[in-house]
Structure 1
Amino acid sequence: MTTINPILLEVFKNRFAAIAEEMGVSLTRTAFSPNIKERRDLSCAVFDASGEMIAQAAHIPVHLGSMPLSVQAAIAACDMAAGDMVLLNDPYRGGTHLPDVTLVAPVFAGGGRPAFYVANRAHHADVGGMTAGSMPLSTSLFQEGLVIPPVKLVKRGAVDAEIMRLLLANVRTPHEREGDFAAQVMANATGVRRLCELIAKYGLDTVSGYAGALLDYAEAIARARIARIPDGRYEFADVLDGDGLGGGEVAIRLAMTVRGEEAELDFTASDDQMKGSLNAVRAITLSAVLYCFRSLITRDVPTNAGIMRPLSVLTRPGSVLDAHFPAAVAGGNVETSQRVVDVVLGALAQALPDEVPAASQGTMNNVTIGGLDPRTDTPFAYYETLGGGMGAWRGGDGESAVHAHMTNTLNTPIEALEYSYPFRARAYGVRTGTGGAGLRRGGDGMVRELELLAESEVTVLSERRERGAYGLMGGKPGEPGRNTARIDGETTELPGKFSRRFPAGTILRIETPGGGGFGQR
């Protein structure tokens, strides 16, 4: 195929994206856990024969930007036949953190090698490790849960029962995990079926040709957008509060150079990897960069690997943004990714002050709770991220109490929460007045109070507890977040990162940060 029809290009852009979206619907509707079924902590995408992402559903940026590396790791490790599916979660093979489990399936079209791949990634509420929920204050990857290298979970259409037994023997909630794994398998089966239908209708040469054309199309639009950024060198730095294990602030530093239609992002001056779990693997850094530059493009461009072609990302092995195995990484995916976005947008704001917002809350406010449910006498594991304030920009105030940037999940509805877990929701609302002041005000954070109805192990990984999200152009920073526990009427201040066991009756209160303000009044 040599001629690209622009109408067909648009058709294929939407057909590929629709396949990923349908995969997501299948996974959401068949999953067992509230984290996937209700919060939609999952992502689905379509890949070409080399593992380059062609299209994605409108799911989670931190998943999608790193998923190509997992797909490529699966391709390199396993010789896949029709009906096979490869499972992995290893952060050092394209993963993010251990609870994010990726399943990859090949799509054959008559040849000896796969013509395409489909993949989904879902956050499992528990994959073992030293604390319930598998998001501990860890010092090693091995403390965080079961590490799964690329392995065939499905062989010729049948789930490998031995591998499944091994997986389920290492988690606290095996029934829920088995249901979520089955949902991932069915989501991939949906994607394979739809791609085969597309190939049957148009032919492999045409479908492959337009897949490649979509990558080129996205690259061209990205280059045109970068070309409108003034050439120059832009530097910015921000810090993480610390790793929760006694270490101080950790700096993320960026020197961004824009030349014509290309940009180089140099993070090599960032601090060394830390003892605790806020280290990020390189895949996380790439995800954050992709998200930021995709966000600059206002046109309806496909989000695929073409957008990264004009971008060069430099990281230093052994640093907080390119950690060495077996560094702990549970929090790098959720917290450090948010700070990378803050830093990239801070640099871009120097070049594009009218287009880039102030910092959003800068954290996902991760809460994991586990224990024994007295209603069923079985273990439970709960995981949730909480929204906060978005940063203001020249065109308007920041949104309040929403998930921002690298997370795109929903909340767990109160009805589902109280049905599934031994909790009672005591408060849930906007944390009024916490957005940064300015000509445009930052969005407000939120408050969530949970009463624990059983003795529970609670782990929280949260950021922006020491200093608020930065403002721009004279705007004030947002209010920092706050964590407390009330036991027998007495309130105790809690750090941004902690893991503790609380008695039944404890009221856990999470107050999330506000976004930064923009401009002076």
Structure 2
Amino acid sequence: MVSPVDIEVVNRQLASVAEEMGIVLQRSAFSANIKERRDFSCAVFDGAGRLLAQAAHIPVHLGAMPLTVERVLARRRPGPGDVVLTNDPFLGGTHLPDLTLVAGVFAGAADREPLFYLVTRAHHADVGGRTPGSMGLARRIEDEGVRIPPVALVRGGRLDREVLDGFLARVRNPAEREGDLRAQLAALERGRRRLLDLVGREGPESFCRKLPPLLDYGERVMRAAVSALPDGEYRFEDALDDDGLGSRPVPIRVRLLVRGDEAVVDFGASAGQVETGLNTVRSVTCSAVAYVFFCLAGGDYPLNHGSLRPIEVRTRPGSLLDARPPAPVAAGNVETSQRIVDCLLGALAQAAPDRVPAAACGSMNNVAVGGSGGGAGGSGYAYYET
């Protein structure tokens, strides 16, 4: 029997690991966007790829990470000493500048099954593409930068220089990009050591038997939050001003269905995908939904895989909120995601008007400055911030 005290202790321990990973990443990073603006996120998953704990970092990163881990484990499961790199938005990523590293934590070098997985995601100031900052007015995903499917950046504890150099050859500020990637690797190593220290105090079996009750606790709290809403169907609609090319407004429509302690969030009636990077991938849409329901639950409780069980998100493939290749998606992560949040809050305001705040601006400023020929070896330079 796992007591409530044990659940809370392990929750705090795992959250502290994610927070400490973030501290290492911030202090080690080269770019202002990561070091000063802290555009990064860290999380801990169990050996089955289920979210256990996350630091208080970037919501749009964190809500997408479960799908990233799922896709990485299906395609290139990291073994002992391996680190997998990806930024593919269509495989659980967000947009190309967000580079994600996934590593397993193994009790011993001979073990084949991991105790945990660790994830870091950081927004790199440039990942190639037509414009500095990789956030330009693109018509296709390849115009936004280099797209990386899950690939082993580290194999058996050794950095694969060929993989790294292949990436650096396609970006501006390659020295800064390498520095930020190494900062992410350092964060993973700190997380690995901390987790093994925690497990070593009582043994893997004793520690890991507390994890399923932790997930169940997250589920119970979220179900209680949803059950406090009146049963019913709630609709709300908002729109992007245009697609960036002078089109008419681009509608985002949500239908929220509440039945008991479960909720369905349906965006199927929203606009089709557009020609520019205002599209979002499904993982970003799910991130926005998770953020809203975490806010609804309130308080200081576990945000984990169990918390997401009562919420079903429906999207239409090929739409603005579930774009498919070759659609560009850079701005969907930073702009459209915020309008999704506003739409869902608008629907929730009908169910719980005393708990939902007034609408926010639903927008975001992004500044990218760069040019050609100014970096090391004439690679150009780029500076990005929001």
Q: TM-score range by the shorter chain?
A: over 0.9
Task: Name 2:252's counterpart in structure 1.
Answer: 252
Q: Helix, strand or coil for the counterpart of 2:38?
A: coil
Q: Is the 8 A contact 2:253 2:270 kept in 1?
A: yes
1:384 paired to 2:385? yes
1:20 paired to 2:18? yes
Deviations 1:274-326 (A, max 9, x none): 11111111001110110000001222111112111001111100110011112
Deviations 1:86-136 (A, max 9, x none): 000000000000000000010112442112100100000000001000001
Larger strand fraction of residues: 1
What CA distance in whole angstroms lies between the structure 2 residues aligned with 1:91 and 1:374? 29
Q: Is the 8 A contact 1:99 1:134 kept in 2?
A: yes
What CA distance in whole angstroms lies between the structure 2 residues aligned with 1:290 and 1:140? 28
> Where in structure 2 are the equivalents of 1:15-94 lying within 5 Å?
15-94=13-92
Q: Helix, strand or coil for the counterpart of 1:347?
A: helix
Q: Is the 8 A contact 1:50 1:72 kept in 2?
A: no
How many angstroms does 1:206 deviate by?
Answer: 2.5
TM-aligned CA distance change 1:276 to 1:372, over 3 Å: closer
Deviations 1:232-282 (A, max 9, x none): 110001001122123221101011111110111111000101111111110
1:145 paired to 2:145? yes
Count of residue pairs the alignment pairs up: 383
Q: Is the 8 A contact 1:280 1:329 kept in 2?
A: yes
Deviations 1:354-397 (A, max 9, x none): 11011111112111111269899883211111xxxxxxxxxxxx
How many angstroms does 1:80 deviate by?
Answer: 2.1
Amino acid at match of 1:77: R
What CA distance in whole angstroms lies between the structure 2 residues aligned with 1:374 and 1:190? 34
1:351 paired to 2:351? yes
Deviations 1:455-499 (A, max 9, x none): xxxxxxxxxxxxxxxxxxxxxxxxxxxxxxxxxxxxxxxxxxxxx
Q: Helix, strand or coil for the counterpart of 2:364?
A: coil
Between the two proteins, what is the percent identity of the paired residues? 55
Task: Name 2:116's counterpart in structure 1.
Answer: 116
What CA distance in whole angstroms lies between the structure 2 residues aligned with 1:378 and 1:316? 40
Q: Helix, strand or coil for the counterpart of 1:381?
A: strand
Structure whose CA Rg is larger = 1
Amino acid at match of 1:379: G
What CA distance in whole angstroms lies between the structure 2 residues aligned with 1:373 and 1:20? 38
What CA distance in whole angstroms lies between the structure 2 residues aligned with 1:375 and 1:161? 21
Q: Is the 8 A contact 1:91 1:281 kept in 2?
A: yes
How many angstroms does 1:140 deviate by?
Answer: 0.8
Amino acid at match of 2:91: R
Q: Is the 8 A contact 2:227 2:261 kept in 1?
A: yes
Q: Helix, strand or coil for the counterpart of 2:253?
A: strand
Q: Is the 8 A contact 2:279 2:329 kept in 1?
A: yes
TM-aligned CA distance change 1:374 to 1:290, over 3 Å: closer
What CA distance in whole angstroms lies between the structure 2 residues aligned with 1:287 and 1:202? 35
Task: Name 2:338's counterpart in structure 1.
Answer: 338
What CA distance in whole angstroms lies between the structure 2 residues aligned with 1:73 and 1:253? 28
Indicate the structure whose relative CO is greater, using CA pairs within 8 Å and at least 6 residues apart: 2
Amino acid at match of 1:21: E
Amino acid at match of 1:78: R
Q: Is the 8 A contact 2:173 2:375 kept in 1?
A: no
Task: Name 2:194's counterpart in structure 1.
Answer: 194
> Where in structure 2 are the equivalents of 1:88-237 lying within 5 Å?
88-110=86-108, 111-237=111-237
Q: Helix, strand or coil for the counterpart of 1:69?
A: helix
What CA distance in whole angstroms lies between the structure 2 residues aligned with 1:79 and 1:360? 40
TM-aligned CA distance change 1:207 to 1:89, over 3 Å: same
- How much is the aligned-residue C-alpha RMSD, in angstroms? 1.5
How many angstroms does 1:202 deviate by?
Answer: 2.2
Amino acid at match of 1:291: Y
Q: Helix, strand or coil for the counterpart of 1:13?
A: helix
What CA distance in whole angstroms lies between the structure 2 residues aligned with 1:367 and 1:242? 20
Q: Is the 8 A contact 1:118 1:191 kept in 2?
A: yes
1:6 paired to 2:4? yes
What CA distance in whole angstroms lies between the structure 2 residues aligned with 1:79 and 1:356? 41
Q: Is the 8 A contact 2:171 2:379 kept in 1?
A: no
What CA distance in whole angstroms lies between the structure 1 residues aligned with 2:340 and 2:298? 21
Q: Helix, strand or coil for the counterpart of 1:331?
A: helix
Q: Helix, strand or coil for the counterpart of 1:126?
A: coil
Q: Is the 8 A contact 2:317 2:323 kept in 1?
A: yes
What CA distance in whole angstroms lies between the structure 2 residues aligned with 1:210 and 1:333? 34
Task: Name 2:299's counterpart in structure 1.
Answer: 299
Normalising to structure 2: TM-score of the pair? 0.97
Task: Name 1:424's counterpart in structure 2.
Answer: none
Task: Name 1:329's counterpart in structure 2.
Answer: 329
Normalising to structure 1: TM-score of the pair? 0.72
Amino acid at match of 1:276: T
Q: Helix, strand or coil for the counterpart of 2:289?
A: helix
Q: Is the 8 A contact 2:78 2:102 kept in 1?
A: no
